[in-house]
Amino acid sequence: EIMEQPEVLEQCMRGRIKPDDGKLLLGGIQPLIPRIIAASRILIVACGTSWHAGLLGEYLIETLARIPVEVEYASEFRYRRPILFKDDVVIAVSQSGETADTLAAVQIAKQNGCMTIGVCNQVGSTIARETEGGVYLHAGPEIGVASTKAFSAQILCLSMIALKLAKERGEMGEEELRAKMTKMAELPGLLRRVLAQKERVLEMARTFRYASNFLYLGRGFNFPVALEGALKLKEISYIHAEGYPAAEMKHGPIALIDQFMPVVVIAPKSDPNYQKLLSNMQEVLARGGAVIAITEEGNDDLNECDFVLHIPTTDEFLTPLLTVAPLQLMAYYIADMRRCNVDQPRNLAKSVTVE
């Protein structure tokens, strides 16, 4: 499923983005666009990996469309008596469309008069039926309990929603939209180049397979990717891992850094805070920590790191679709070397339909 992701991105974009015509078609939400762009805020509710996609959705929609967004764990949202307004829009993100807490959050939103939108993979699922509109992932059946290709499709769908809203609100002109869709259309080919580095990822996995703890750091659009990378490692290899915004390392996690703590740093040069990420890596290296860096091809700034994995250059908001793939592969290879069941990890279910 990790290796299927280039084809999944193609399926997800098919019939939706038309860079030559400058058109972005999302039929499942098109009739709702006037109400969405008039919303005072958007709330995204989700669980697990889908929550990480939702967090990235917040960054995308606020950055591109300039609409306020809040992201909530559905399991907290449904029990904390949230304050909702009738002009709020609630987006539910769920691969299966059956996640119990996310479905309950949708029902609460509807009871309060909010518009609801589903971002699901399973056609005809309960969330898809209960919401007023939505965008399907078109990722195909995902059998592995730990989500990989659905996560990438969720990111892509939320990116398309953000672009659509940006254009409709006048935050983005036709030329800029066309340029961003052109970059988006290049993603499957770029992702194939990333996945072709699997031997390098395998070498890295051999080096760190006995580690007891990992730290993942990212900023901006790649902070949610750091969270997702850590979750994948926890889920399938049973190694403790934590994801943090890179700037938060000084507020506690730096106390854990030693020669036994590998630190994964997602550091694309397109990140406006790239120089600060370099500083974070130097702080880890100065304390004897091992650094695994992810950056663009041709970047020679990171030669001091223990391992460097490269991604092709793309628009900053699209980098998560490339940076997440090496982290998925690393989790897979480490889990396989540790004789873990990578498809059905212990104690986990594909779809959490009970509380």
So where are the chain's domains? Answer: 5-185, 196-337
Q: pLDDT tens digit string along 35-93? A: 999 999 999 999 999 999 999 999 999 999 999 999 999 999 999 989 999 999 999 99
Contact partners, residue 212, CB within 8 Å, separation at least 6: 239, 240, 260
The answer to whether residue 350 scores a pLDDT higher than 90 is no
Q: pLDDT tens digit string along 99-153? A: 999 999 999 999 999 999 999 999 999 999 999 999 999 999 888 888 999 999 9
- Count of Cβ atoms closer than 10 Å to residue 275 Cβ: 10
Percent of the chain, pLDDT > 70?
99
Contact partners, residue 77, CB within 8 Å, separation at least 6: 43, 45, 101, 105, 108
Q: pLDDT tens digit string along 11-25? A: 999 999 998 888 999
Say yes or no: do domains 5-185 and 196-337 share a fold. Answer: yes
CATH code 3.90.76.10 for 196-337: no
- Look at the pTM and tell me if it is higher than 0.75: yes
Choice among 26-40, 205-219, 252-266, 306-320 with the minimum mean pLDDT: 252-266
The answer to whether residue 355 scores a pLDDT higher than 70 is no
Q: pLDDT tens digit string along 187-244? A: 999 999 999 999 999 999 999 999 999 999 999 999 999 999 999 999 999 999 999 9
pLDDT at 117: 97
Per-residue confidence at 259, pLDDT binned at 50, 70, 90? confident
pLDDT at 351: 66
Please give the Cα distance from 292 to 290 (Å, whole number).
Answer: 7
| Arithmetic mean of pLDDT over the chain | 93
Pick the CATH number of 5-185 from 2.60.40.10, 3.90.1150.10, 3.60.21.10, 3.40.50.10490: 3.40.50.10490
